[in-house]
């Protein structure tokens, strides 16, 4: 007859089972972490919009996915790239953005701060603002005025501002706003000639955007500094609301913006 197992016999079995469970949990956790790192580094990276420079296309509180593979890979495709102990130059499988794409890039001034703007000028282009009208290579870009846009002025007060549909030379159309009319700080400029291997970026909120028009703050953006192209809004919450306050989501989430492609 088989002897009944004592508590002393069961204890090692229980400990072995617990240890196997811990190892399996750690293994699954490490696999999930590895997958997340690979996806974030090579495929998609999430970003949130902290400023209104791309209003009305992107709003403060929008969360979006940026595709990295669409533009190839450079040093700045890697997480915490500013801390890498080695130098990397150029791009692997690089594909230049198209005029009108919205892209995330590292600010050339420090190669660390993430900026997001619209590609307006390609290498060799001549860009100029004349009375609020964008000019590319000596030709004014078509814009059509539509209904005013509700936003806030420089003092944070609600206001209605002129809104236009701007159509770039390659046929890409997008909305812009002119908070200060056609006499804003950057509505009349000299001619900018985009250097080889660089791009000229602008915000759709033309009077509330620090972009390539300000050569001291942004200027021309090297191809190497591009991180990826904005693809889709996966979450959006009212400005001033906290995403972690789930109990407020029925009222604060901008449901109509979820999963909207970015143009």
In a domain, 144, yes or no: yes
pLDDT more than 90, % of the chain? 68
pLDDT exceeds cutoff 70 at 222: yes
Q: What is the pLDDT of residues 52-70, one digit of tens each?
A: 999 999 999 999 999 998 9
Q: Would you state the pLDDT for residue 188?
A: 97
Residue 13, pLDDT above cutoff 60: no
Domain region containing 56: 44-238
For the cut 60, the answer to whether the pLDDT of residue 108 exceeds it is: yes
Q: How far is CA 29 from CA 25, 26, 72, 87, 263, in A?
A: 6, 5, 29, 31, 36
- Domain tally, the chain: 1
* In a domain? residue 21: no
* Signed CA dihedral, 67, 73, 78, 81: sign only: negative
The CATH number for 225's domain is 2.10.109.10
- The pLDDT confidence band at residue 154, using thresholds 50, 70 and 90, is confident
Q: Do 72 and 94 contact (CB within 8 A), yes or no? A: yes
pLDDT in tens, 29-40: 555 555 445 444
User: Which residues are annotated as catalytic?
Assistant: 53, 117
Residue 186 covered by a domain: yes
Residue 176 has a pLDDT of 98
* Within-domain flag for 140: yes
Query: Is residue 6 in some structural domain?
Result: no
Instruction: Establish if 7 belongs to a structural domain.
Output: no
Whether residue 2 is contained in a domain is answered as: no
């Amino acid at each position: 007859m088989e002897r009944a197992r004592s508590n002393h016999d069961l204890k090692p079995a229980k400990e072995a089972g617990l240890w196997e469970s811990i190892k399996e949990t750690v293994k699954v956790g490490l696999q999930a972490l590895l997958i997340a790192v690979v996806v974030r580094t090579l495929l998609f990276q999430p970003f949130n919009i902290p400023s209104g420079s791309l209003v009305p296309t992107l709003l403060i509180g929008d969360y979006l996915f940026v595709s990295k593979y669409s533009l190839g890979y450079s040093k700045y495709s890697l997480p915490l790239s500013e801390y890498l102990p080695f130098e990397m130059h150029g791009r692997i499988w690089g594909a230049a953005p198209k005029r009108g794409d919205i892209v995330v890039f590292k600010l050339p001034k420090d190669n660390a701060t993430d900026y997001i703007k619209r590609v307006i000028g390609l290498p060799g282009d001549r860009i100029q603002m004349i009375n609020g009208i964008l000019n590319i290579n000596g030709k004014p870009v078509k814009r059509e005025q539509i209904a005013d846009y509700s936003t806030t002025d420089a003092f944070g007060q609600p206001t209605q501002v002129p809104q236009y549909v701007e159509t770039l030379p390659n046929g890409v159309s997008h909305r812009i706003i002119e908070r200060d009319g056609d006499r804003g700080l950057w509505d009349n400029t000299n001619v900018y000639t985009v250097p080889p291997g660089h791009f000229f970026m602008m915000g759709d909120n033309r009077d509330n955007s620090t972009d390539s028009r300000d050569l001291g703050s942004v200027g021309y953006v090297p191809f190497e500094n591009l991180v990826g192209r904005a693809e889709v809004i996966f979450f959006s919450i009212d400005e001033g609301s906290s995403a972690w306050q789930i109990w407020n989501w029925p009222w604060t989430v901008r449901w109509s913006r979820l999963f909207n492609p970015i143009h």
